[in-house]
């Protein structure tokens, strides 16, 4: 699986592959590491790399992560490739009125805002179920919800207006 990480404002490609033999190959940029990975808690992982054991504390809030390993702390943002593409496309042309449309057919599971609500960049607007997955559609900008074009439980087609943020 591919990811994009942002460390000190630099984007780096990260690839994670399970070998099928219990090991995980992690490629960060042009550096590749093979590790045995054991999750002991949801925020604590044990790694064995080249026969050496590491305990890694991971604290995450949305896409931002803080990692403590061997007494050193690292902070970074991490997005899967799909999220990275959505973030890039959302960043393009976020001035003025934004019409957020369904990217694929689905069902509206939940409206997270109402008309007149103030939203920040990245706030959830609506949850759409498509292909048996729930996707939270987020605001591409700071603004006010001017129009909601759907109702909870409704089916939507690709390109159908979901929310207008101005």
pLDDT at 44 over 90: yes
Length of the chain: 166
Q: What is the pLDDT of residues 15-31, one digit of tens each?
A: 889 888 889 999 988 89
Helix (H, G, I), strand (E, B) or coil at 101: strand
* Res. 43: pLDDT tops 80: yes
Q: 94 with 100: CB under 8 angstroms? A: no
3-state DSSP assignment of residue 125:
strand
**pTM, full prediction:** 0.48
Half-sphere exposure of 27 (CA within 13 A, CB side): 9
- The DSSP letter of residue 96 is S
Q: Determine the pLDDT at residue 143.
A: 92
What distance, in Å, lies between the first and last C-alpha atoms of the chain?
Answer: 35
Candidates 3, 10, 12, 165; CA nearest to 90 is: 165
Query: Among 105, 158, 163, which residue's Cα sits nearest to residue 137?
Result: 163
The 10s digit of each residue's pLDDT in 72-109 is: 998 888 888 777 666 666 565 667 888 999 888 899 99
The stretch 100-123 carries a mean pLDDT of: 92
């Amino acid at each position: 699986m591919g990811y994009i990480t942002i460390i000190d404002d630099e984007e780096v490609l990260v690839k994670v592959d399970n070998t099928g033999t219990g090991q995980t190959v992690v490629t960060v940029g042009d550096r590749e590491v093979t590790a045995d990975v054991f999750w002991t808690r949801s925020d604590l992982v044990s790694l064995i790399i080249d026969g050496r054991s590491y305990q890694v504390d991971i604290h995450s809030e949305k896409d931002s992560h803080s990692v403590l390993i061997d007494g050193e702390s690292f902070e970074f943002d991490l997005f899967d490739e799909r999220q990275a593409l959505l973030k890039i496309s959302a960043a393009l042309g976020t001035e003025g009125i934004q019409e957020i449309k369904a990217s694929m057919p689905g069902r509206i599971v939940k409206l997270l805002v109402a008309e007149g609500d103030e939203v920040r960049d990245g706030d959830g607007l609506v949850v759409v179920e498509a292909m048996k997955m729930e996707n939270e559609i987020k605001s591409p900008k700071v603004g006010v919800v001017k129009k909601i074009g759907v109702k909870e439980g409704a089916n939507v087609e690709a390109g159908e207006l979901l929310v207008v943020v101005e």
